[in-house]
Amino acid sequence: MKEHIVTTYDEDLNSLKSNLTKMGLNVEKQIYNAVDLTKIINISKAKEVINNDKEIDALEKKIRGFATITLSKRQPLADDLRQIIISLKISSILERIGDHASNVAGRILSVKKAPDKYITDSIHQLGILVLKNFSTALSAYDQESKKIAQSVPTEDITINSVYETCFREHLHLMMEDRDIIGFCTQMLFIAKELERIGDLSKVISKEVIYNLQGTLK
């Protein structure tokens, strides 16, 4: 990558990228913890996830402010302009993903404890796939790799079908045993949150491709 004549311009763009990567890693940790909660319910950990969401919101505001200043100061064009535009978009997507992770923790708080009769771990497995695909999207951004980015939407198709399977499985569970209907309903909401994170990871990968090739195809 060629450097700008004005070195502070490079510093601005690098700082924007490192802040966004930092935000991404924070969100990744939030998803990791949220997915963990779907296996082992832990009230204090759930509270921690909800609390950490504030940090992510603050990072989004910081990136937005920084991107706005860079736009006005540098009046960027071509790839530089795209890099700033995707920083704005991705930071807002990350913020939403953070909300979904926090929502998972919120559901966990309301169920408190899993019934003994509930033995499936399919939603946890769904969460692992979602976390992995999010990490892939984040690496694609960090490494500016079109190849890595292109693998994300493909994997999301698998995630969607796993989500469908979870849904049907839980319907059966509820039909078989009405005692766990309440819990299963909450778990289905959690599955939906995870599935949304999958969709949003796909949007991130599309932004990365847009940045690299310059068109929204």
Partner 1 sequence: MAEKIKISTKKVNVFYGDKKALENINLEIPEKKVTSLIGPSGCGKSTFIRCLNRMNDTIDICRIEGKIIIDNEDIYSKEIDPVLLRAKVGMVFQKPNPFPKSIFENVAYGPRIHGLAKSDDELDELVTQSLVKAGLFQEIKDRIHEPGTSLSGGQQQRLCIARTIAISPQIILMDEPCSALDPIATAVIEELIDELAKNFTIVIVTHSMQQAARVSQQTAFFHMGNLIEVGLTDQIFSTPSQKKTQDYITGKIG
x/- map, 8-27, partner 1, by CB under 8 A: -x------------------
Q: Is 78 in the site for partner 1 (CB under 8 A)?
A: yes
x/- map, 83-122, partner 1, by CB under 8 A: ----------------------------------------
Q: Identify residue 93 by its one-letter amino acid code.
A: I
Q: Which stretch binds partner 1 (CB under 8 A): 3-11, 34-42, 103-111, 114-122?
A: 3-11
State which of residues 41, 81, 203, 212 lies at the interface with partner 1 (CB under 8 A).
81
- Give buried/exposed letters for 103-113 (b at 16+ CB in 10 A, else e): bbbbbbeebee
Cβ burial of 97 (10 Å; 0-12, 13-18, 19+) is: buried
Q: Is 75 in the site for partner 1 (CB under 8 A)?
A: yes
Residue 213 C-beta: closest distance to partner 1, Å: 8
C-alpha span between 171 and 37 (Å, rounded): 21
78-111 and 181-213 are packed helices; what angle lies between their axes, rounded to 10 degrees?
170
State which of residues 44, 72, 77, 168 lies at the interface with partner 1 (CB under 8 A).
77
Q: Which is nearer to partner 1, 5 or 175 (CB)?
A: 5
Which residues, 6 or more positions from 133, have their beta carbon under 8 angstroms from its beta carbon?
Answer: 152, 155, 156, 159, 198, 201, 202
C-alpha span between 58 and 19 (Å, rounded): 11
Binding site for partner 1 (CB under 8 A): 2-6, 9, 75-82, 214-215
